[in-house]
Chain A
Amino acid sequence: MTTFLGLPAPPTAPRGVGHLRGSEPFPVAARRALADSQLRRNLNKATTTIRAKRAAVVAELPDWEELRAAGQAIKAETMRHLDRYLEQLEAQVQARGGTVHWARDAREANQVVTDLVRATGSTEAVKVKSLATDEIGLNDALAAAGITAYETDLAELIIQLGHDRPSHILVPAIHRNRAEIREIFLREMGDADPALTDSPAALAEAARLHLRRKFLSARVGISGANFAVAETGTLCVMESEGNGRMCLTLPQTLITVMGIEKVIPSWADLGVFLQLLPRSSTGERMNPYSSLWTGVTPGDGPQEFHLVLLDNGRTAALADQTGRQALHCIRCSACMNVCPVYERTGGHAYGSVYPGPIGAVLSPLLTGVQDNATLPYASSLCGACYDACPVKIDIPSLLVYLRARHVEEERQDRRLPSAEAVTMAAASWVMADPRRYTAAQRAGQSGRPLGRGGRIRALPPPLSAWTRARDAPAPPARTFRQWWRASGRDRS
C-alpha cells in the first residue's frame, strides 16, 4: 500500500525507537518462555485468578451484552470522525489553560516531552499509566537527556527496579511472584527494610515509603490516559493504587502522552466505559481511583498541563478498513487473561509492549506486518479473546486478515515464492478438482506401511513439527469415498 484515497499512505511507527518490535520471531521466544517452569506457574496462577474474578462481575450485570454493543458503537463512531473529535478535544483543552502538542511518531513525542521537562529545569519526573510512554521508549529518551523518570505504579516500579520489561498491559509484572518481588526490592531499592517479608501488604508498604519521597519532591509528572472527553477536554486516568492520583495532582507540571484513539465524544460515553473497563480488566465493579481533570485550575493541582497526542502508526491502522477496529481497544487486558497462548508463553514472547491477542493484531498494524510478521500466527484462533473483549473486537478475524496481508505482501516482495507458498498453491490446485484430489488420496494411501498399529511416529519436515510430540494417523485402507462407491449407494 503506497497510497490511500489518492494521498501518500500514512507512515507506520518508525524503527529504532520504542518497544513495538521484538528481536526474534514469536515461536523462538515462545520456546524459551515455555521452558521456564516458574514463569508458567506464575502466569497460570495469575490468569486463572483474574479470569474467575472477571467472570463473576460480568455475570452479575444483566445488560453486559448491551454495554459491549454500546462500547463498540461509540468507538466505531469516534474512529469514523476521529479528525473532528481530536480538534474538538484540542480546542477544549486549550480553552481551559492546557497546551496540546501533536506528535507524528515516537521520536517527535519523545522530543516534545524531553523539551517540556527541560524547560522546567527539573532533572526528575514521576510517572504513572506508562503504556503509551513505554511504546515510544520515553524513559530511554529522558535518560539520554539526563532526566530520571521514576515509575510509580507498583508493577511498573517492580519492572523498573528489576531492569526488566513489562509482560502484560495491566499487570506488567505478572511474570513475577511475591518472592521474586521481595528480592528485587531488597537488591534495588536502597531504602528497603532488610527484614522485609513477601506478604502483599509488606511489599506495598515498602513501595509506598520508597515512592512517597519521590512524590513530595517531584516537580514534573508524566502520565498516560485511559480516556479523553472531547466535549469538555477532560482527561481520565483509572487506577487501583492512588499513586496515580499523587502523580496527577502533586507536581507543578503535568505532561500526558495519549494515543489519538483514546478520545471519546462525550461524558455519556464515558459512563459506558467506566462500567466496561474495571470489570474487564481487574475484575472489579469499580476501580479504586478514577482521576479526571480539565485543563488547569488556579491554586489547585498542576499549574501547567501539556497533552501530547501520539500517532505513531495509528493513522496507518485507521487507513486499513479491516484492521482499524483494533484501535477500539481500551487496554483492559481481558483478551490476554483468557488467551491459552498468552497463558503459556507470557508477554515477553510477543516482543511488543502490547502482547497477547490484541497485541498480535495491534503491533503489526502500527509497525507494518513485515516488522511483526510472526505475531498474526501466534494464535490457535480459538476465539476466547473475541468473547471476552468489552468492545467486541473480532480479534480472530483480524488475525486471519493480517495473515492474508502478510502473504500478499510477501508475494509482492519476493521473486521466488516460499516453500509454504508453493505447498499451499499445490494443495489448492489438487483440491480444486475431485479427480486430482482422489489421485492424491491414493498416493497418500501408499504411505500406509509407515504406520504401526494405525499410528505414524515420525514424518519428514515440515510435518516433523507435528510428530515431535504427537503421533499421526496412518492412512486407512479405504477412504470414505472409496467406501461410499463400494457400498453401492449411488446405484440404488
Chain B
Amino acid sequence: MRIALFVTCLADTLFPDVGKSTTVLLERLGHQVEFPQAQTCCGQMHVNTGYQREALPLIRRYVDTFERYDVIVAPSGSCVGSIRHQHAMVARRHGDPGLADRAEAVAGRTFELSQLLIDVLGIEDVGAYYPHRVTYHPTCHSLRLLRVGDRPARLLRHVAGLELVDLPDAETCCGFGGTFAIKNADTSTAMLADKMRNVLGTRAEVCTAGDSSCLMHIGGGLSRLRAGVKTVHLAEILASTRDGGETG
C-alpha cells in the first residue's frame, strides 16, 4: 500500500527517529512510504492558543499537500486529533466552506499509527523485538479524541521480549497541553509530578506513548530528576528488531 507520512513538525525538527522508525516499520511490513516535502505543521498550536486566523494557511497547506493520497499516517494522536476535529471547524468559522469540505475528506483518510496498523493494515504483530520493561501512557488526544483504546497495548503485547507493566492513573493527563505548559507552568508541573511518580512506581525502564509532545514533557521531567527512565515513542519500539535493524 502507498502510505503518505505526515511526520509532524515536532518529530521532524526535534525527534527525527520517530519519523525514521515509522518509515522503516511500514517498509518492513511491505508498504511504500512517501514523504511529501511540501508538508509543515497541522496548526494545532495556533488553534489551541486562540490564533485560528494564523492556523488557516497551515490547514490549507496540509489539505493541499495530502489531498492526493488515499492513506496518510502521522505518529501522533494529538496532530491527527487536530486534523480530524479542528481543521474543518476552523475553515468553516473563517468563511471557507470549500476548504472545510476538502479538509473533512482528507481527515477521514488520516490515521494515527496504531489505528493505521490495526484498523487499516489489519496487523497486531509487527515482528518487533524490544527486551525491556515498558509502561504505556495513553495520551489524552489519542484516548479521548481518537478513541484508540487498547490498540497501542495490543501492538506492544506482541513485541518479543517486551514486558508491559500497567501505569497507575494512566488516563490522567501528564500536564503538557501545548502552550498550557508555558502559560500555566506551575499547574502543568504539578500534573507532571504525579505522572512521574506513577511512572517511577512501575519500575519500568521505558515510558512509551503515541505522541512525541507528551513524551517530551514526561521525558523532560524525568531527565531533570536524573530518574534513569527514558521516554521512547511507540513507533521506535515497533520498529526495533532482533538484528538491531531499527532506523536504516
Residues of A within 8 A of B (CB): 26-27, 30-31, 34, 340-341, 344-345, 376-384, 386-387, 397, 400, 403-408, 420-421, 424-425, 427-428, 431-434, 437, 441, 444, 455, 457, 462-463, 465-466, 468-473, 475-476, 478-484, 487, 489-490
Whether A479 touches B12, Cβ cut-off 8 Å, given contacts A382-B173, A383-B144, A469-B192, is yes
Q: How large is the interface on B (under 10, 10 to 19, 20 to 34, 35 or more residues)?
A: 35 or more
In residues 38-57 of chain B, which contact A (Cβ within 8 Å)?
Answer: 38-41, 43, 45-55, 57
> DSSP majority for the B interface?
helix
CA distance A386 to B143 in the complex (A): 12
A380 close to B176 (CB less than 8 A): yes
How far is B11's CA from A341's CA once the two chains are assembled, in angstroms?
Answer: 27
Task: Give every chain B residue within 8 A of A400 (Cβ-Cβ).
Answer: 47-48, 50, 86
User: CA A395 – CA B203 in complex, angstroms?
Assistant: 35
Contact of A381 with B49 in the complex, beta carbons under 8 Å: no
Of all chain A residues, the one with the shortest Cβ separation from B191 is A340
**Closest A residue to B56 using CB positions:** A428
Cross-chain pair count, CB within 8 angstroms: 199
Cβ–Cβ contact A380 & B188, under 8 A: yes
Known: A381-B178, A403-B48. A345 touches B187 (CB 8 A): yes
Q: A381-B178, A473-B216 are in contact. Are A403 and B50 (CB under 8 A)?
A: yes
Q: Which residue of B lies closest to A400 (CB)?
A: B48
Q: Given the interface contacts A381-B140, A407-B50, A470-B221, does A441 sit within 8 Å of B187 by beta carbon?
A: no
- B7–A480 contact, CB under 8 A? yes
Binding site for A on B (CB under 8 A): 7, 9, 11-20, 23, 33, 35, 37-41, 43, 45-55, 57-58, 61, 85-86, 89, 93, 140-141, 143-145, 171-173, 175-192, 216-217, 219-221, 223-224, 248
- Complex Cα gap A31–B183 (Å): 12
* Complex A-B: 7 CB contacts under 8 Å: A30-B186, A340-B173, A380-B140, A427-B45, A432-B58, A432-B61, A433-B40
Looking at A408, A431, A468, the one whose CB has the most chain B CB atoms below 10 A away is A431
A444 and B175 contact, Cβ closer than 8 Å, known pairs A381-B180, A424-B54: no
Would A441 and B46 be within 8 Å (CB), given that A379-B177, A381-B177 are in contact? no
Which one of A382, A421, A455 has the highest number of Cβ atoms from chain B below 10 Å of its Cβ? A382
Query: What is the bound-complex CA distance between A354 and B244, given in angstroms?
Result: 55
Given known A-B contacts A381-B48, A384-B173, A428 and B14 have beta carbons under 8 A apart: no
Q: Are B50 and A341 in contact, CB atoms less than 8 angstroms apart?
A: no
* Given A424-B54, A428-B54, A27-B140 contact (CB < 8 Å): no
Using A428-B55, A484-B35 as known contacts, say yes or no to A470 and B192 having CB atoms under 8 A apart.
yes
**In the bound complex, how far is the Cα of B49 from the Cα of A405, in angstroms?**
11
Q: Are B140 and A481 in contact (CB under 8 A)?
A: no
Known: A27-B187, A407-B50, A427-B46. A434 touches B37 (CB 8 A): yes
